[in-house]
Amino acid sequence: MKRREFVGAGLAVAGAGMLGMRPAYAQSKQIVVTNWGGDWNGRAVKHIEAPLLESKGWTIVRDLNEQPQRMTKILAERRLPRGTVDVAHFADGEAYTLNVQDALETIDYSKIPNAATMIPKMKQPYFMPWLYSAWEVVYLADRIKDPVTSYADMWNPKYAGKIGVMDQNYGAAMQVASILAGGKMDNFEGAKKLLLEWKKAVQPKIYPSHQQAQAALKADEIWMLGNWKARGLQWQKDGLNVRVASPKEGGIHTVFGVVIPKRAANKDGAHAYLNALIDPEGMRNLCSDNFYAPPTTAVSIPGEVGAKIAFTPAQTAALHYYDHKYWAENITKWLDWWKKDFVGS
Amino acid sequence: MSAGGMREDRNWGGSALVLPALVLVAAFLLAPLALILRYSFDKYDPVKLMLGVFSPGNYVLAVADPFYQKVLTTTAGIAALSTVIVMLLAFPVAYYISRLESQRLRGWLIILTMLPLLLGNAVRSAAWMIVMGTKGVANSMMLGAGLIEEPIKILYTQTAVVIALVSVLLPFAIITLQSVMDSIPTSLEEAGQSLGHSPLRTVFGVVLPLAMPGVVAAAAISFALAMNAYATPVLIGGPTIKMMGPAVYDQIAKANNWPFGSTLACILMLATLLLTVLSTRFLSRKYF
């Protein structure tokens, strides 16, 4: 959009920006962090922010919201002289989309000593990985006796009416269907046909998000659904009798991490936050609690929990990775298709 | 100074008092609305968000697309049904409160009516989710009473959305109706009854026609709120019940398609305005 044409957008955003605007103090001890809410943020506060930052004099201002709203805010603020967010939590695909739209700062890893042991493949100039897991299959152990070995088990008509799918994770549903339709991560056309057949034959129940899906498993409404391995293990810990199956087709690798918006007011504070985020001690406690895997070799999770979290060499070799470019260019179209043709049909 | 001059000064003083409110409304309501209108004629781009063009393409797409036609008709249908139920429930309650002799009881009932408004809409919707869930209060009670053998699906249905919307709208309708009924003298009802009308016929023959301005106002408020509902359809309706409020949100926040989201918002505003004006005029001609 041209500068002149952006006047309109400026009017809307400037109001909010001016109200929330604060000076860029290099020495400021305040860091504005935007993150998902709920237990995701609760564990970040408990294991990282409170012991490693707030106890050392930093003030963390939390702006908690769902991913689309937070992305929209950063996109809207990229044209302002100064934004309202210093650090934002996102998955790697979302970070790629923001970076393509010129909304992110290049991270200065020399200011993050803890990043020295980070797995290089996951590290991006605009995105620092924090936790990773894979999209697998979660199912009720006392309802499904035959061990689940494939994504295709969710397509089995004998489980008709007992399969769940989460509306907010429509992208993962499309990826799974695409893998089943031929293993493509850069072309989802085959996925659409398979998903429509799935809807007709298996009648999956659609839930808004994880919380409702968890409640549905508890209530015996559904027996099986795709989800992150870490989320399945958390549900186990919460007392739900579920198993997590690594599908033979390979899980879908998902990395969660952080970015620094281009218009962040406190970039020094943001880098200090990033360093604390991957502190080995903090990560060990966090990963033992939320079952995500750490992206640094400096952290090892001991005992049974460590074994549950870890991916075997075979599982790691089979992992599917996002095609971020394809994802960013098509996500709007898929959302449209998902709402109209899948959910709406 | 002449008396006329003083009156003019007082008028100016009155206008000056209105000015801050006018400026606020212009700045925080009309300006964003104008922006939304402008955005609605723009074109979405995955990288640039908006291209800065002026095209009616979004309107053509929204009006011609059967999906959005269905979303709009579903929204209008749910809003109309909720409004009718709300008016049927609110009228007797408002009438009862307005005819109470005990001011103390009357005060308590008004406070009770307004109590739900002190809670956020999302909080009330969360409570409904607990009531309507498969293992929720409603299913447990029906199972316990032997009315059903298996839990029935209540949550994530249109019926659930209508029930929750009625609960949201009821206080607005009761308070609006009750204030109008307060102004209807009881002597008119007594006159009706002295002419041989039954109490029920008196209500429908005397009270209802006189209360029609309040009925129209309450119905218009309820309908507009239901058309624009967001939290209730999202939390109670779930992903499968499509209404315009969530559809606008999906486009703006999830798809980042601000132009098309703005188009849907403008269509929603226009549809709400048109339907409200048409129904108000219809009722006004019939009863005023």
* Owner of token pair 């955003």: A13
Give the pLDDT confidence score for residue B200 in this predicted structure: 86
Closest partner residue to A332 (CB to CB) among B35, B240, B257 is: B257
pTM for this model (two decimals): 0.78
Measured distance CA(A179)–CA(A340) in Å, rounded: 22
* Cα angle value A166/A170/A171 (rounded, 5°): 135
Q: Check whether residue A146 and residue A183 sit in a common domain.
A: yes
Contact by Cβ (8 Å): A138, A242: yes
Whether A221 sits inside 8 A of B32 (CB atoms) is: no
Q: Is the pLDDT of residue B199 over 70?
A: yes
What letter does residue A32 receive in the DSSP assignment? Answer: E
What's the pLDDT band for A2 if we cut at 50, 70, 90? very low
Number of domains in chain A: 2
> Which residues does B283 contact at the CB level (< 8 Å), separation at least 6?
B212, B215, B216, B219
* Same domain for A236 and A187: yes
Residues A28 and A124 in one domain: yes
The reply to whether A212 touches chain B by the CB within 8 Å rule is yes
* pLDDT more than 90, % of chain A: 71
Picking from A70-74, A77-81, B154-158, B280-284, which range would have the lowest pLDDT averaged per residue? Answer: B280-284
Check the CA dihedral A229-A234-A235-A237 and report its sign.
Answer: positive
For residue A153, give both structure tokens: 């088990």
Return the bridge partners of A295, or none.
none
Residues 6+ apart with CB under 8 A from B121: B168, B231, B232
Residues A220-229, mean pLDDT to the nearest whole number: 96
What is the enclosing helix (H) or strand (E) of A91? strand A87-91
Q: Is the pLDDT confidence value at A14 over 70?
A: no
pLDDT digits 0-9 by tens, A110-129: 999 999 999 888 899 999 99
Can you tell me the mean pLDDT for A166-175? Answer: 93
The structural domains of chain B, with segments of one domain joined by +, span 57-287
The pLDDT of residue A19 is: 44
The radius of gyration computed from the CA coordinates of chain B, to the nearest angstrom, equals: 24
CA atoms within 13 A on the CB side of A127: 27
φ and ψ at residue A137, rounded to 5 degrees: -125, 130
Q: Which of B52, B252, B257 sits opposite A1 (nearest CB)?
A: B52
Two structure tokens written together for B49: 């968000």
Q: Which residue has the higher pLDDT, A302 or B4?
A: A302
Q: Write out chain B residues lying below 8 Å of A331, CB-based.
A: 46, 255
- Does B133 sit within 8 Å of A12, measured CB to CB? no
- Tokens at B109, concatenated: 């009932």
Q: Sign of dihedral through CA atoms A189, A191, A192, A197?
A: positive
Chain A residue numbers with beta carbons less than 8 Å from the beta carbon of B125 are: none
Residues A293, A287: contact at Cβ < 8 Å?
Answer: yes
Cα angle A211, A174, B43; round to 5: 95
Residue (of B115, B106, B241) closest to B170 by Cα position: B115
CA-based torsion, B47, B50, B56, B58: positive or negative: positive
Q: Kindly give, in sequence order, each residue whose CB lies less than 8 Å from that of residue A318, ignoring residues fewer than 6 positions away.
A: A248, A249, A250, A251
Q: What is the mean pLDDT of chain A?
A: 90
What pLDDT is recorded for position A23? 53
Using CA atoms, how far apart are residues A52 and A286, in angstroms rounded to an integer?
12
Q: If you average pLDDT over residues B246-260, what whole number do you get?
A: 89
- Give the CA count within 13 Å in the CB-facing half-sphere of A175: 25
3-state class (DSSP) for residue A136: strand
Q: Mark whether A222 and A275 lie in a shared domain.
A: no
**To the nearest whole angstrom, how far is the Cα of B267 from the nearest Cα of chain A?**
18
The answer to whether A97 and A328 have CB atoms below 8 angstroms apart is: yes
What number of C-beta contacts closer than 8 Å exist between A and B? 75
Please answer yes or no on whether A216 and B254 come within 8 Å at the CB atom.
Answer: no
Output the pLDDT for position A333.
Answer: 87
Closest CA to B125 of B223, B238, B220, B228: B238
Are residues A301 and A339 part of one domain?
no
Tokens at B40, concatenated: 């609605």
Q: What is the CATH number of the domain that holds A21?
A: 3.40.190.10
Four-way CATH pick for B57-287: 3.30.1230.10, 1.10.3720.10, 3.10.129.10, 1.10.3210.10:
1.10.3720.10
**Percent of chain A surpassing pLDDT 70:** 92
Using a CB-CB distance cutoff of 8 angstroms, which residues of chain B are in contact with residue A90?
none
> Same domain, yes or no, for A202 and A300?
no
Same domain, A208 and A334: yes
Per DSSP bridges, beta strands A30-35 and A87-91 are: parallel
Pick from A99-103, A225-229, B212-216 the range whose average pLDDT is largest.
A225-229
User: Which residues share a beta bridge with A225?
Assistant: A138, A164
Place of tokens 């994802």: A327
A162 and A300 part of one domain = no
Q: Is the pLDDT of residue A132 over 80?
A: yes
Give yes or no for a contact between A315 and A251, defined as CB atoms under 8 angstroms apart: yes
Cβ pair B159, B232 in contact under 8 A = no
Nearest residue on chain A to B150, alpha-carbon basis: A221
N-to-C CA span, chain B = 45
pLDDT in the model for residue B17: 87
pLDDT at A3: 41
Lowest mean pLDDT among A242-251, B5-14, B94-103: B5-14
Structure tokens at A110: 């020399």
pLDDT at A27: 59
The answer, yes or no, to whether residue B286 has pLDDT greater than 50, is yes
* Cα–Cα distance measured from residue B212 to residue B203, given in angstroms and rounded to the nearest whole number: 12
Q: Is B47 on the interface with A (CB under 8 A)?
A: yes
CB atoms closer than 10 angstroms to residue A286: 24
Rounded to whole angstroms, how far apart are CA atoms B37 and B54?
11
Please indicate, yes or no, whether residues A263 and A204 belong to a single structural domain of this protein.
no
**Contact at CB, A1 and B51, closer than 8 angstroms:** yes
* Number of C-beta neighbours around residue A340 at 10 A: 17
Mean pLDDT of B32-51: 90
Q: CA-CA distance, B47 to B209, in Å (whole number)?
A: 58
Strands, E, within A169-283: which ranges?
205-207, 224-228, 242-245, 252-259
The C-alpha atoms of residue A136 and residue A149 are separated, in whole angstroms, by: 10
Residue A215: list chain B partners with CB under 8 A: 133
**A206 beta partners:** A165
Note whether A213 contacts B: Cβ–Cβ < 8 A.
no
What is the per-residue DSSP string for A267-310? HHHHHHHHHHHT-HHHHHHHHHHH-PBPSBTT----HHHHHHH-
pLDDT of residue A6: 41
pLDDT top residue among A4 and B189: B189
DSSP label of A147: P
Q: What is the domain extent for residue A64?
A: 4-131+254-310
Contact state of B254 with A207 under an 8 Å Cβ cutoff:
no
Give tens-digit pLDDT for A306-344.
999 999 999 999 999 989 999 888 888 888 899 999 998
Residue A13's pLDDT band (cuts 50, 70, 90): very low
**Residue B254 amino acid letter:** K
Chain A positions in Cβ-Cβ contact with residue B70 (cut-off 8 Å): 344
pLDDT tens per residue, range B139-153: 999 999 999 988 898
- Higher-pLDDT residue of B74 and A15 is B74
Q: Which residue in A has a C-alpha nearest to residue B254's C-alpha?
A: A68
Residue A327 sits in the same domain as residue A189: yes
Contact state of B250 with A208 under an 8 Å Cβ cutoff: no
Helix (H, G, I), strand (E, B) or coil at B274: helix
With beta carbons under 8 A apart, name residues in chain A contacting B253: 66, 68-69, 72
Which amino acid type is present at position B200?
A: L
Decide if B239 and A69 are in contact by the 8 Å CB cutoff.
no
Least confident of A26-30, A186-190, B35-39, B184-188: A26-30
**Minimum mean pLDDT among B31-40, B51-60, B63-72, B123-132: which range?**
B123-132
CB within 8 Å: A329 and B46:
yes
